[in-house]
Amino acid sequence: MIRKLRRIPKAVKKFYEKEFYHQPGTLPGTIIIDENAEAPNIILFDYNQNNFIRKQIENPEECTTYLDQESVSWVDVQGLGNQDIIQRLGKVFDLHPLVLEDVVNMGERPKIEDYEDQLLIIAQMVVPMEKTFGFHSEQVSFVLGKHYLLTVQEEPEYDCFEGVRLRIDRSKGIIRKQGADYLAYALLDAIIDGFFPVLELYGERLEELEEEVILNPTRKTLQQIYQIRRELLQLRRTIWPQRNAVNSLIRDNSELIGAEVQIYLRDCYDHAVQVMDMVENYRELASGLMEVYLSSVSNKMNEIMKLLTVVSSIFIPLTFVAGIYGMNFNPEKSPYNMPELNWYWGYPICLAGMAAIALGLLFFFWRRGWLQNSVTIKQDWQ
């Protein structure tokens, strides 16, 4: 059953995420297909310690032959743009309708669900975008069986599984000697390790913003700090439930997860905790930068006001003197009416007195230490 797609875009610069939701009253198991989604690209990896097969799958029913063998079969589905293929995959793997709904409908929270002979794992993968700065986030779904693993990705363009594929192809490490549960661990570990390059980009950018905030903060600086805070918040919302999901794999003792793989999952859990710590540290640093920015702008404004006050304090007595001598009372009518108007050196003496007042005030401000910061802030703004 297909219903109209409803999408809520989250506008964050250089960051793309899609959230989907059902209309109220929609039947459980309803599948939502994005009209703009790319057609599924299905790749089969079937391997054991001695043999390896990589095959492009055109019809989902081709997977049936490999699922009944003792070898490990990894069916990697990239793209969700064909409803018929998705439903046929559900029949081939005997997926519960709710499992198929969670796999296809993007925006699910990372989680673990046990369906007796199958284990559903929902994870969020992030890929750094170094050229434009930021990251791309998408959902990756795992359906783990006894001898097979089905993975479903939203878009084929972004992927962090190439290292695992090379290890299978070249038989590096112990992956070809292990079962499907180890393969699921390897892919989960690749997803969580993919957070570190993203956080490295944010760490470098925060260092640049820290220097910018101290030396020359602008309104653009504040906008960039706010943007980074929002993107770090999104990373936190992604890694927090993912850490809990890995913890559930360790503690629930599922029959599909062997005791040896649980030991490896502990290391995966440690990486998730480390990612969380880095995200929290960067969020605190971003918040601190915002406070430093506001404090720096406030201090700069105070220094500007201080400089203007000094200038005004110098010109106030000069204006007073000029105002008095600008009244021009006739000295012939009274000896008290500005006798200085008849002095031969009256004008130079008045100017010299005004200059002495200005210099005296500057000397007084300098001795008090009021001019040093004012001159510095003036030079910064120039």
Phi first, then psi: give them for residue 143, nearest 5 degrees: -120, 105
User: What is the set of domains in the chain, with CATH numbers?
Assistant: 1-175 (3.30.460.20), 301-381 (1.20.58.340)
Residue segments in the chain with a per-residue pLDDT below the cut of 50: 1-19, 374-382
Nearest alpha-carbon partner for 323 in 356, 350, 352 = 350
- How far apart CA 332 and CA 326 sit, in angstroms, is 17
Task: Please count the residues of the chain.
Answer: 382
pLDDT at 344: 79
Amino acid at 334: S
- How far apart CA 235 and CA 353 sit, in angstroms, is 68
- How far apart CA 357 and CA 254 sit, in angstroms, is 89
Phi first, then psi: give them for residue 379, nearest 5 degrees: -65, -40
Q: How far is CA 147 from CA 41, 236, 296, in A?
A: 21, 33, 61
pLDDT at 219: 83
Instruction: Report the percentage of the chain scoring pLDDT > 70.
Output: 88
Per 3-state DSSP, the chain is made up of helix, strand and coil in percentages (nearest 5) of: 55, 15, 30
Q: What is the pTM of this model?
A: 0.75
- How far apart CA 191 and CA 268 sit, in angstroms, is 10
- How far apart CA 304 and CA 131 sit, in angstroms, is 39
| Residue with token string 């820290």 | 210
Asked if 144 and 121 touch (Cβ cutoff 8 Å), the reply is yes
pLDDT at 373: 54
Asked if 337 and 329 touch (Cβ cutoff 8 Å), the reply is yes
